[in-house]
């Protein structure tokens, strides 16, 4: 009869903790003696090391095949902060999902696979508190030109898919298409919560975009010029122009048209001090 040897996992964890404590003490000693730091400063440095490098130290058994750790800008970092000064987070990204990706490659080709992976990577990063950029996708993940990524993003937007990139979530640069997309989805009758999920914005942000669209159209109906509307509603002239073109182009469903008509009848306040700039 074969003898079964039982391993005490709690005992193994205890020795792991003891080994870690010994390493911590060695690190503190080196910092205090070598850099002439106080025990408080040395302890603070140790905490910082754990906070920054812990994801890399604790990967055993946590990363699945095809996954990678990836540092990027934290979602709470304001758009005006330079990348070199931005808070970073380390997220787990699934670059290769195995059979799922293989099926997409088989049915749609290389371009479809890249767009499929872009969606997954952007959503994974967003859900873990980080935001990818076009530069990240092109230069760090897919090793291709930024024009290629831009074409992929345009193709996805034509399908009604807006990815949670830093330029989208933080309204950076000339990225205004997502706002027009939000208003267009509202015009088609989608609910605020549904639009928020599809575009990775909060419901309050969606409501704000729609409200400003209504105000811009109301002022247009009253005969105000483009620059005056932009000043009063606190929008860029390019976005106001985009809203006006959308209003002329898009087919607004009946109940949304009634909602907009009711808003126009009520009239709006045109004080230049009202509202905050988008």
Tell me if 237 sits within 8 A of 264, measured CB to CB.
no
Q: What is the pLDDT of residues 11-30, one digit of tens each?
A: 555 545 555 556 677 778 78
What's residue 18's pLDDT?
A: 52
Closest CA to 89 of 63, 124, 64: 124
pLDDT of residue 9 exceeding 70, the answer is no
**Cα–Cα distance measured from residue 114 to residue 272, given in angstroms and rounded to the nearest whole number:** 46
The confidence score (pLDDT) of residue 139 equals: 92
- pTM (2 d.p.): 0.53
For residue 17, the model assigns a pLDDT of 54
CA distance 193 to 206: 9
Encode pLDDT of 81-106 as tens digits. Answer: 777 778 888 899 999 999 999 999 99
Q: What pLDDT, on the 0 to 100 scale, is given for residue 81?
A: 79
Q: What is the pLDDT of residues 158-210, one digit of tens each?
A: 887 878 888 777 654 444 456 777 888 899 898 998 888 777 677 888 898 89
Greater confidence, 8 or 204?
Answer: 204
């Amino acid at each position: 009869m074969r003898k079964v040897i039982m391993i005490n996992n709690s005992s193994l964890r205890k020795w792991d903790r003891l080994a870690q404590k010994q390493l911590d003490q060695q690190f503190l000693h080196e910092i205090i003696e070598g850099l002439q730091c106080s025990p408080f400063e040395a302890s603070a440095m140790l905490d910082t090391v754990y906070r920054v490098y812990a994801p890399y130290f604790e990967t055993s058994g946590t990363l699945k095949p095809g996954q990678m750790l990836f540092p990027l800008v934290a979602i709470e970092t304001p758009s005006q902060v330079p990348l070199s000064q931005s808070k970073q987070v380390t997220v787990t990204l699934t670059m290769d999902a195995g059979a799922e990706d293989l099926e997409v490659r088989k049915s749609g080709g290389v371009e479809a696979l890249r767009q499929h992976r872009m969606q997954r990577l952007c959503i994974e990063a967003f859900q873990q508190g980080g935001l990818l950029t076009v530069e990240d996708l092109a230069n760090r993940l897919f090793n291709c030109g930024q024009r290629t990524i831009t074409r992929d993003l345009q193709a996805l937007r034509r399908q009604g898919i807006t990815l949670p990139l830093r330029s989208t979530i933080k309204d950076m640069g000339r990225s205004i298409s997502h706002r027009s997309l939000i208003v267009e989805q509202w015009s088609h009758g989608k609910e605020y919560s549904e639009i928020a999920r599809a575009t990775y914005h909060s419901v309050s942000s969606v409501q704000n975009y729609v409200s400003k669209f209504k105000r811009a159209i109301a002022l247009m109906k009253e005969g105000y010029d483009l620059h005056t509307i932009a000043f009063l509603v606190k929008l860029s002239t390019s976005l106001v122009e985009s809203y006006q073109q959308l209003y002329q182009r898009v087919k607004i469903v009946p109940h949304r048209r009634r909602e907009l008509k009711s808003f126009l009848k009520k009239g709006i306040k045109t004080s230049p001090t009202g509202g905050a700039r988008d």
